[in-house]
Structure 1
Amino acid sequence: MEHKKQSEKLGTESIPKLLRDLSVPAMIGMFVMALYNVVDTIFISYGVGIDAVAGVTIAFPVMMIIMAVSAAMGIGGASVISRRLGEKRDNEANQVFGTIISIILLISIIGVIASFTFLEEMLILFGASPEILPYAVEYMFPIMLGTFFFSFAFATNNIVRSEGNAKFAMMTMIIPAVINIILDPIFIFGLNMGVQGAAVATVISQAAVTVVILRYYLTGKSSLTLKWSDLMIKWSIVKEVVSVGLPAFVQQASGSIMMIAINTMLIQYGSDLYVGVFGIIQRILMFTVMPIIGVMQGMMPIVGYNYGAKQYGRMRETIWLTLKVVIISSVGIFILMMIFPWIFMRVFTSDLIVIDAGVDAMRIMFLGFFVVGVQVVAGGLYQALGKPKPALILSLSRQILFLIPLVLILPHFFGVSGVWMAFPIADGLSFVLATVLLYKDRDTILVKGEEELNQIEAATLTN
């Protein structure tokens, strides 16, 4: 059957072709997703103002917590599923999938309850000043009501990619982005709904793609099948998925804590204006890191499948090619951001004060970008191999171990500039850590022959 072949080709097709076929759709999908975040911010900036951008920036950590749980389920599940498919254990792959769907339903119920009970208190806790709190509440209330759509779409995107169907995974990112971009001006300007209009447009777009994804699974186009019996939560599966997905959860959740720390320090040492400036730069940062994450996501199912199928030569070829591609990409983006930062700021605002503050901040924040690729790939690699400890260390490193302490310490000496300086320093330290871990595991991951690897595996099983 056609949909079974899409998984099997992970073990047979040439690596450069596979990596291209899986990465390019992931990149396009993520670019479009980043684009709709960018368009959201542009419409809010021009339609409501920089305070509204600051309000959405303050609200963003709440969304990141929802995404953190979805990422743990999606990326952890994708790793387990791709290895089960590689081992030809299709029924178990379906059970993993069913359990993930049920966990997402539980998350969604919690999100809806939170929207009616403690949303305002949570946003104040996350650093909302009295001026920007109304914007943050207006934006987050519809988003929280639509938790199921966000969580389902976010988690299943990784699972679709884990069975080798990158083109459909790309479509699940493009569809909501296009709908959102069309609906934004209608709700923000046409219906005069302001910030809330942007949120409602986002929820509708995610609901639309949820219907498309459900249809994909229910009409038999996937290598996986969705049955009622598989929806029973199996805690042994949850444990395995969470252990692999924990780094992704930590990364997203620590991103939320990082945002709270940054917003708090910017208000303390600067003003609401700097929160708005950071909101714009964060969108630019998301846009620039997308190609690197896209290549990493293309790499993960190939590595997971070939590791499960014991085709270690193919696995190593994939890793080396991925590293080359992301290093070239990150160096190119670094050069672009150093030479033309004002071009990117002008897309979001015509306010010269905001542009000037943004250009200064961008040049500092992107100073260490040329080493970002290695750290991203290393984290994805350990997740794909089902090695949670090094993956967890890497996902913790940049944000929790390095960035958050630097954001809290440096402003005491350098003011607002200290917040921006934290980024390149954290990038450099994370790169060193990723390089050390890869070097330590070089025999297994990068250079060993197949026979030696089989001996290592046999020794591991007997211990």
Structure 2
Amino acid sequence: MKPNQSDALGTDAIGSLLVKQALPASIGILVMSLNVVVDTIFVGNWIGSIAIAAINVVLPVSFFIAALGMAIGIGGSSIISRALGSSNRARALKTFGNQITLTLLLTVAMVIFGLIFINDLIPAFGGKGDIFEPAKIYYRIVLYGVPLLALSMMGNNVIRAEGKPKFAMIAMIIPSIGNLLLDYILIYIFDMGMAGAAWATTISYSLSFFYILYYFLSDKAELKINWSHFGLDLSILKEISALGFVTLARQAVVSVTYLLMNNILFNFGGEASVAAYGIIGRMLMFALFPVLGVTQGFLPIAGYNYGANKYKRVRESINKAILYAGGLGILIFILIMSFPAAITSVFTNDPDILSETPHYMRWVFAATPIIAIQLIGSAYFQAIGKAVPALLLTLTRQGFFFIPLIIILPYYLGELGVWISFPVADILSTIVTGYFLNREIRKTLKE
């Protein structure tokens, strides 16, 4: 690899560059999402539907801690992309070193906190009744590996900021394949139940971490840091925190959403409704992989060219990212609307879940064709280092619209109100994001 490979972000044709960046990101997200889906299929068929609900309860806790790494990775990578675009390698190196230090300090502290309050957190996130014990088994084991997952998520974004999406893709594929193999061995062959599912996940985190460590220690990496770069720099920390807080806030709101959804659905339909949400939630992770891949591929392109003052290329990257992601969103919409019952039947043979989940799944995906505008719009502000609008636009869907909706609508529509909240929140947040993105383009992106 050439040490100046990131320069291609500012010279290659935007269309081909977006494909080169988005395709590996999409494949990586696909494999990770497929891993979650197949993991849920294994758990549902080999352990039972209660196990699906138990994992769904644990996800917001472990995801939030892992999101610390993702937040630091995306926030720091925005700085790195712009620093490389303006040929400021010293700032890029110092930022990377600070990312590592910050990720370790925060995630280890969060794991300790999570273990101390284990008996309070699980019920708070909906782990009640028959769900509590299997959720506790899964939670404790998975939490051990979360710091390694956080470091992996952080390092993955830095690799992408260097302009090497294929290595970032491999870093996402390795743990996914490892987890599926370990699921088969530990759950099916050794009959370890929830503990087997948890250890498979934790060990897979380790595989991802060691691959990324290998990458940065090899001559393939562009950023070669030394011990001096690990010392915390207040100005860099402030910028990482401001930009990373966008991602962290989004994940925090997702965790709050899981908490509310699990509790509201448990009150309406018990364990079966929570399990149905577990299935639909996995499909949200899985089905949207190409749209999310385009968003991930868009970030370094927009950040690099903005740092290099190539505003025409930034505008072009926005337009093409929305076009590509929107087209993919339409295809996803058609598939989900056509086969919701077949999709649900893959996860479980429980008649209660099979009867209701397809109908609810259609509601959840009803606004998929338009979500590209919201995702690309909020990602753009993050890529160019404008933390406040990035934060506000990121929170529009989950925080400003979705959470109030799932609290209000069920009073009038019952459980159906919970599911209708998904497309309504998507439509409202897309309108708001589209307005502010268009205003920013007209105001700032002038040659």
**Conserved? CA contact 1:300–1:381, under 8 Å:** yes
Paired with 1:249 and 1:111, the residues of 2 have a C-alpha distance of 13
Paired with 1:10 and 1:439, the residues of 2 have a C-alpha distance of 23
Paired with 1:6 and 1:350, the residues of 2 have a C-alpha distance of 50
Q: Does 1:106 align with 2:105?
A: yes
**Conserved? CA contact 1:85–1:305, under 8 Å:** yes
Residues 323-373 of structure 1, C-alpha deviation per residue, up to 9 Å, x if partnerless?
111111112211221121112112211223212211011111111121111
**Conserved? CA contact 2:66–2:146, under 8 Å:** no
Paired with 1:180 and 1:231, the residues of 2 have a C-alpha distance of 31
Paired with 1:115 and 1:251, the residues of 2 have a C-alpha distance of 20
**What is the SS of the residue equivalent to 2:4?**
helix
Residue of structure 1 equivalent to 2:357: 358
AA of the residue aligned to 2:212: I
Q: Does 1:293 align with 2:287?
A: no
Residue of structure 2 equivalent to 1:63: 62
Q: Does 1:120 align with 2:119?
A: yes
Residue of structure 2 equivalent to 1:155: 154
Q: 1:192 Cα shift?
A: 1.4
Q: Does 1:262 align with 2:261?
A: yes
Residues 284-306 of structure 1, C-alpha deviation per residue, up to 9 Å, x if partnerless?
11112211110011111111111
Instruction: Tell me the TM-score normalised to structure 2 length.
Output: 0.97
Paired with 2:402 and 2:245, the residues of 1 have a C-alpha distance of 19
Residues 237-261 of structure 1, C-alpha deviation per residue, up to 9 Å, x if partnerless?
1110111111111111100001101
**Conserved? CA contact 1:3–1:222, under 8 Å:** no
Query: Is there any run of 5+ residues in structure 2 with no aligned partner, and where?
Result: none
**Conserved? CA contact 1:82–1:163, under 8 Å:** yes
**Conserved? CA contact 1:292–1:329, under 8 Å:** yes
Residues 77-98 of structure 1, C-alpha deviation per residue, up to 9 Å, x if partnerless?
1101100111111121111001
**Conserved? CA contact 1:29–1:174, under 8 Å:** yes
Paired with 1:97 and 1:407, the residues of 2 have a C-alpha distance of 39
Residue of structure 2 equivalent to 1:176: 175
Paired with 2:294 and 2:115, the residues of 1 have a C-alpha distance of 39
Residue of structure 1 equivalent to 2:312: 313
Q: How does 1:268-279 map to 2 (within 5 A)?
A: 268-279=267-278
Paired with 1:321 and 1:109, the residues of 2 have a C-alpha distance of 40
**What is the SS of the residue equivalent to 1:270?**
helix
Paired with 1:7 and 1:202, the residues of 2 have a C-alpha distance of 33
**Conserved? CA contact 1:67–1:252, under 8 Å:** no
**Conserved? CA contact 2:107–2:147, under 8 Å:** yes
Q: Does 1:204 align with 2:203?
A: yes
Paired with 2:258 and 2:111, the residues of 1 have a C-alpha distance of 23
AA of the residue aligned to 1:56: I
**Conserved? CA contact 1:111–1:145, under 8 Å:** no
AA of the residue aligned to 1:48: I
AA of the residue aligned to 1:442: I
Q: 1:159 Cα shift?
A: 1.1
Paired with 1:28 and 1:51, the residues of 2 have a C-alpha distance of 30
Q: 1:3 Cα shift?
A: 3.5
Residue of structure 1 equivalent to 2:412: 413
Displacement over 3 Å in runs of 4+: none
Paired with 1:85 and 1:449, the residues of 2 have a C-alpha distance of 22
Q: How does 1:224-263 map to 2 (within 5 A)?
A: 224-263=223-262
Paired with 2:106 and 2:187, the residues of 1 have a C-alpha distance of 29
Instruction: Tell me the TM-score normalised to structure 1 length.
Output: 0.94
**Conserved? CA contact 1:15–1:318, under 8 Å:** yes
Q: 1:115 Cα shift?
A: 4.7
Q: 1:182 Cα shift?
A: 0.6
Residue of structure 1 equivalent to 2:432: 433
Residue of structure 1 equivalent to 2:394: 395
Q: 1:220 Cα shift?
A: 2.8
Paired with 1:354 and 1:226, the residues of 2 have a C-alpha distance of 52
**Conserved? CA contact 1:68–1:251, under 8 Å:** no
Q: 1:107 Cα shift?
A: 2.3
Count of equivalent residues: 447
Residues 127-186 of structure 1, C-alpha deviation per residue, up to 9 Å, x if partnerless?
211310111111111111112211011111111101110000000000100111111011
Paired with 1:439 and 1:94, the residues of 2 have a C-alpha distance of 34
**What is the SS of the residue equivalent to 1:131?**
helix
Same amino acid, percent of matched pairs: 38
Residue of structure 2 equivalent to 1:76: 75
Paired with 1:164 and 1:332, the residues of 2 have a C-alpha distance of 28
